Amino acid sequence: MIRKLLEQKLNNAAKTENLPQSFSVSFSGIPAMCDFQSNSCFVLAKQLHANPLDIAQKIVANLQNDEDFVFEAVRPAFINIKLTDKGINKLAQDIKLDKVGRIGDGKRIYLDYGGPNCGKAMHIGHMRSFNIGEAFKRLYKKLGYDVISDIFLGDWGMPMGLIMAMLEKEGTLDDYIAGKLPLTLDVMNVAYPKASKLKSEDEKFKARAEEITLLFQHKTQPYFDFWKRLRNTSVSAIKQVCKMLNISFDLWNGESTANEYIPEVLKIFREKNLVRQSQGALVVDVAQEGEQIPIPKKSPDEVQRYENPMPPLILQKSNGGDMYATSDVATIYLRNKLYHPDAIHYFSDARQNQHFTQVFRACKMAGISPENQQLWHTGFGTVNGKDGKALKTRDGNNMQLLDLMNMLYSKAEEKLIANGTEYDENLKRQIGNAALKFVDLSSNVEKDYNFDIDRVLAFEGKTGPYIQYTACRIKSILNKAGEFEENFNLLPEHRKVILALNKLQSSYALSFEEKSLNSICTSLYEAASEFASFYNTCHVLSEPDLQKRSAHLTLLKLTLDALTRGADILGIEIPQKM
């Protein structure tokens, strides 16, 4: 990566001058002045009690014969760096070769995202987990990691027991078990909301649902076999949604997969004297001395409150039933036993931050997670309507994931018809997905955002469809141009585009460091915008000078490939035409 190369050059010069080698380089905030910049001389001057400009001038004096860069010390003590023409041409060739620092070579990472509950309709929060997790999967692979992705279904808890209890109450459970009535997703989608509501009103019904949950968890028939049918029906529907969203998983495990490891895990905690009884439940104290734990806010305007210490992790309920935490700890145990990842990365609602902190601490205390293993949780914010309130359907119900997807695809179809574009089902799906994924990933993942369907589907501005449109536009030009010989003797008018493509390439490592995809989204948009500015001022197909024409076309091919690679990390497909 070019910034690492520049930092190395500056540090080598510092070594020559017997100065600390701690230079950093950033992209220039004033492109008209320079391409890159370092302000490290200010920090060094404080350490050495020296004049910062003198340090900058000493460094630059050692770098005057560089063929690829021009270094300049400017007041008050910046080092400005500009690529030479030769340097720009080399950079373009690096972009073609897709030279990305493979920081993950030799490392394995296990990703846990999606997490829908079997038997329940997927909500918009699942969309965020799907999109963010899938993009990180692609990013980690790009950076050289051996990646294992797992949807980790909620398939072993109360929702399945509630569905069975409701069917039993309605007198149809035996017929469903016997196969006399067809078990469909619609049956579950009707039964679960009714059961969930009744649970809060009828203690007897709630107790029966808990009893049935324990029965299938202990593999008691016929409940266990019926549980398997409920799970299979749910998984088939979830796979269809994932296919529509261009999302895939290596493993379709769930809480039930971890179930067989729970006795081993509880034994480890008991043998290490890490558990105690609390009102009949089995808990692990994970608090650390002196810490202040933020209490989740009920609204963004609420004053932040804290509690101390962090509550204990409940490993087992008083009735012997398993908790989410039980499954999560057992899951980390089985993942280490079977796959030995260097890191495990979770993606879920930010309101689960404390839960995962508790789980991670417990696993470290028990040695279930090795000392050198990294455990990460990326907590994401909520998606609201453009009025800042929860997204609703036209009839006033909370919008589910499929509602939102169908609404997007329908709106994409309207735009294609209005533009007079020939289309098929796949094209409107690709455009709808691009709109959804780009807006979902373009802000910091931890923040809430407002969803405006007309804005996110626009073919101009900072949107997914704009990236697709720009790439399709380049495809069309290259198709008209036919074959050409690559020419890396690039021209001054290509400079801004090349630098924008380099920034896009650099954004991969930055997104990895920040654990957020917004840097890639911003760099994609800036690269597409710089290309549009270039194309609006330069003639490509009508250029009479063949050398210039081939250089222009080389730039177009570089841009198309870079945009396609960047979009692919976000899970955005580039259509053949729009």
478 and 456, same domain (yes or no): yes
pLDDT reported for residue 6: 97
Claim to verify: residue 358 and residue 494 sit in the same structural domain: no
Residue 245 binned pLDDT confidence (cut-offs 50, 70, 90): very high
**444 with 562, same domain?**
yes
Q: Are residues 165 and 219 in the same domain?
A: yes
β-pairing verdict for 108-112 and 146-150: parallel
- The pLDDT score that the predictor gives to residue 391 is 81
Q: Which residue do the tokens 């309101």 mark?
A: 351
pLDDT for 303: 77
Give the count of domains, the chain.
4
**The domain that contains 452 carries what CATH number?**
1.10.730.10
Domain enclosing residue 56, as ranges? 2-83
Q: pLDDT grade, residue 1 (50/70/90)? A: confident
**260 and 137 fall within a common domain:** yes
Domain boundary among 340, 361, 380: 380
In a domain, 105, yes or no: no
Give CA–CA dist 435/431, Å, rounded.
6
Does 219 fall in a domain?
yes
Quick one: 179 and 273 in the same domain? no
* Mean pLDDT for all residues in the chain: 94
Q: Is the predicted pLDDT of residue 409 greater than 70, yes or no?
A: yes
Q: What percent of the chain has pLDDT over 90?
A: 86
Residue that finishes a domain, picked among 244, 274, 302: 244
Whether residue 462 is contained in a domain is answered as yes
**Sorting pLDDT into bands at 50, 70 and 90, what band is 111?**
very high
Domain contains 228: yes
Asked if residue 502 and residue 353 are part of one domain, the reply reads no
Distance (Å) of CA 94 to CA 70, 263, 388, 490: 19, 53, 44, 14
55 and 191 both lie in a single domain: no
Per-residue pLDDT tens digits for 288-309 = 877 777 777 777 777 777 766 7
Section 320-331 average pLDDT: 87
Confidence bin at 396 (pLDDT 50/70/90)? low
Express each pLDDT in 502-518 by its tens digit.
999 999 999 999 999 99
Q: Is residue 385 part of a domain?
A: no
C-alpha torsion 59→65→66→70, nearest 10? 70
219 and 262: one domain?
no
Residue 321 has pLDDT above 70, yes or no: no
pLDDT tens across 141-177, in order?
999 999 999 999 999 989 999 999 999 999 999 999 9
More confident: 182 or 300: 182
> Is the same domain home to 130 and 273?
yes
- Looking at the fold, whether 195 and 56 belong to one and the same domain comes out as no
Is residue 391 situated within a structural domain? Answer: no
Three-class secondary structure of residue 411 per DSSP: helix
